[in-house]
Chains A and B, each alone.
Chain A
Amino acid sequence: MREFNKLTIKNLNKSYEDFEVLKDFNLTVENGEFVTFLGPSGCGKSTALNCICGLIPITGGEIFADDECIENGIDISIPPEKRGFGMVFQNYALFPHLTIAQNIAFGLQIKKMDKKEIGKRVIQAIALVHLEGQENKYPGQLSGGQQQRVAIARCAVMEPRLLMLDEPLSNLDAKLRVEMRYELKALHERLQIATIYVTHDQQEALALSDKIVVMKRGKVQQIGTPQQIFSNPSNLFVADFMGFKNQWGGKIEKIVENGDKVDVTVNVNGLTMLSIIANNKEETGRILTLKHAFENSKEIVTAIRPEDITSADGPNNCFDCNVRIVEYLGKTSEISGSLQNGLKVDARPEHLTSSGESTRLYIPADKLLVFMKEEG
């Protein structure tokens, strides 16, 4: 494997005429790291991937592999085949006229590698993805999951310094998707190749990644570990994507610094809710923005996940809810109803209720996040 420590992307821009697909994209990928680009369709995540591997020319910025500039949008552009990156496509892109073994051997044959060595590596690659016995079949004779494995083997056999996967699981059914997700993770543990993974599925992103890049309309919204993204989304868009289903607009009534915590009291349509933010370095930015919003009495949005709302009773943040719909989810039920002030709420309380009844909900202050209202 070629020496490779990190990939650095600086201010990457890509636009088609007036339309900006990617704007000031910055990222570093360390060796062995699993990075996921997460976002809804059309957010530029696949474009970013294609730019990195050189299939789409960039319009600005620089890409470095270690210290070597591989593309700068002006005069340097190393062609994709010379970058040493591997790519697994969404529809697998297996060559239909070649057998599985021939598909996997293709890249090595282009390299003019010794025939014996090719044979050895193909056998290894086939064993790696557990496809022993399928060598002489054609792609059309394999199932979707098997084709996916061939696509991965075809890439892995080239020993790329960076592996890129473009929504590799989206064509599989739900059960197979979870299985392949597990195998991808295991494969990454074994090979320790730096990997960039593109998906619109937050579960996949959380399960696989060391680092998640959340994107929206060509702009990076947040870069962080799965834990950071899940429990501490940086803005309302990321929160929405991470399942903060309850979003209520309101205004800040007061902000009180309380030792290592900051209490934010919010008026949501007549109801007073308390949100507690840890007073540490990571949250300084957020606290400053909220103070600014408070001083200018700007509109804010509070958000919380349905599963964070419980049935407990407490001194504050407890509200009565008229239950309208109960969805049975197996372990719990998700209820949908309205608070005293008519606010719509989704929750998963422990107390079983049925529609038409009233139940008491507790909104934990440390789980309730406050965001600026999204512009546009």
Chain B
Amino acid sequence: MKIGKKIDRSLFIMLLPAIFVLLCLFIYPFIFGLYLSFTTKDGTYTLANYIRFFSDQWEYRTIWITLYISLPVTLICVGLSIPLAYYMRRGIKSERMITFFLIIPLTLGTVLVSQGMLTFLGPKGWVNQFLMFIGIVKDPIQFTHNMLGVILSVVIQNFPYSFLMLLGYISGISPDLEKASQMLGASKSQTFWKIMFPIMAPGVAITFCLNFVMAFSVYPSAVLLGQPSGPTRVIAYAAYQWAFEKYDQNMGSTISVIMGVIELIVIALVLSWRSHLQKGASIVGKG
């Protein structure tokens, strides 16, 4: 037992640099932000910032606007990723190509992709030209500077993340589980719903959470492809405005804290769904 304690102590010392960095870069700013949100400019404690946010419709509706973007985006991304990743779980011929094209948008950064999307989805863009060419629509559809544009562009930006995450998770499940299920008489759909999906569920839940957090903090797309002055004034934009346009750091921090709390609520809901679905099995069936 003595030896065990010694090892623990030396491990702790080796952890110190990491703890220091975490303290400086994450925990201190977080606590400072929390402190700012509960104070006025001259430092007296107050709940006024929160009351102000929730009593002003212009402010609190940013929550609904952001949820209105991030929930459909996340559902679409995860919903598309599950069948695609499941189909590709044993590898297919052009897998490298597909992965390559999925990773490109990740490497370019959101601003460049949003800029590109602006032209691509615009009235004279390829999408509209194509739709008019095959005769589905007569006049160009308004894809940009509205909610639809923001949702589309965030889906395109987030899809690679959810797909790659799920592919990694699903292809890690032993193929023998499927074979075993089949040998016991289960059809393909029974195998998917009774065996594979419950085993995939933790991965799906985590993918959903990460994607939701990414979509909920949407900023460049909402500004470039939406109407940040009105219908797509997302919560991150509101925080930015307060902090750097109106120079009210306290209010900016308040909005950031509210943003974090909402994300935590959604994550808690998703994780409780997961644990409701399957109790006690966090083990992936690896070979």
Contacts and interface: CB of A to CB of B under 8 A. Distances in A.
Interface of A: 53, 55, 80-81, 85-87, 89-91, 93-98, 106-107, 110-111, 138-140, 154, 158
Nearest to B202: A97
A85 B174 CA distance: 21
Given A55-B179, A96-B283, A139-B283, A81 B185 contact: yes
Contacts of B176: 89-91, 93
B182 A138 contact: no
Given A55-B183, A81-B184, A158-B184, 17 more contacts: A53-B183, A80-B183, A81-B183, A81-B185, A89-B176, A89-B180, A91-B174, A93-B177, A93-B179, A93-B180, A95-B199, A95-B285, A96-B285, A97-B199, A110-B185, A138-B283, A154-B180
Contacts of B180: 87, 89, 93-95, 154
B112 interface: no
Residue with the highest number of chain A CB atoms closer than 10 Å, among B179, B187, B278 = B179
B202 to A, nearest CB: 9
B123 interface: no
B190 A110 contact: yes
Contacts of A86: 183
Given A138-B280, A138-B281, A138-B283, A93 B184 contact: no
29 contacts: A53-B183, A55-B179, A55-B182, A80-B183, A81-B182, A81-B185, A81-B186, A87-B183, A89-B176, A93-B176, A93-B179, A93-B285, A94-B180, A95-B177, A95-B195, A95-B199, A97-B281, A98-B281, A106-B194, A107-B184, A107-B185, A107-B186, A110-B184, A110-B190, A138-B280, A138-B283, A140-B281, A140-B283, A154-B180
B287 A96 contact: no
Contacts of A96: 199, 281, 283-285
A284 B181 CA distance: 49
A85 B183 contact: yes
Residue with the highest number of chain B CB atoms closer than 10 Å, among A85, A97, A106, A107 = A97
Contacts of B174: 91, 93
A91 B195 contact: no
B198 interface: yes
A340 B174 CA distance: 56
Contact of A91 (B187, B284, B287): B287
A86 B278 CA distance: 27
A282 B144 CA distance: 86
Interface in B166-215: 174, 176-177, 179-187, 190, 194-195, 198-199
Interface residues of B, number: 24
Contacts of A85: 183
B277 to A, nearest CB: 9
Nearest to A50: B179
Contacts of B177: 93, 95
A154 B194 CA distance: 16
6 smallest beta-carbon distances between A and B, as pairs: A107-B184, A93-B176, A97-B281, A93-B180, A140-B283, A81-B185
Nearest to A109: B194
A142 to B, nearest CB: 11
Contacts of A81: 182-187
Contacts of A138: 280-281, 283
Contacts of B283: 96, 138-140
Nearest to A53: B183
A110 B186 contact: yes
Contacts of B187: 81
A115 to B, nearest CB: 16
A263 B198 CA distance: 68
Interface in B63-80: none
Given A96-B199, A138-B280, A80 B285 contact: no
A42 to B, nearest CB: 18
Contacts of B179: 55, 87, 89, 93
Nearest to B176: A93
Contacts of B278: 97
Contacts of B181: 95, 106
Interface string B258-287: 000000000000000000001011011101
Nearest to B287: A91
Nearest to A136: B280
Nearest to A86: B183
B92 to A, nearest CB: 17
A93 B196 CA distance: 12
A97 B184 contact: no
A56 to B, nearest CB: 10
Nearest to A104: B184
A111 B185 contact: yes
A202 to B, nearest CB: 25
B91 to A, nearest CB: 15
Contacts of A154: 180, 184
Interface in B147-174: 174
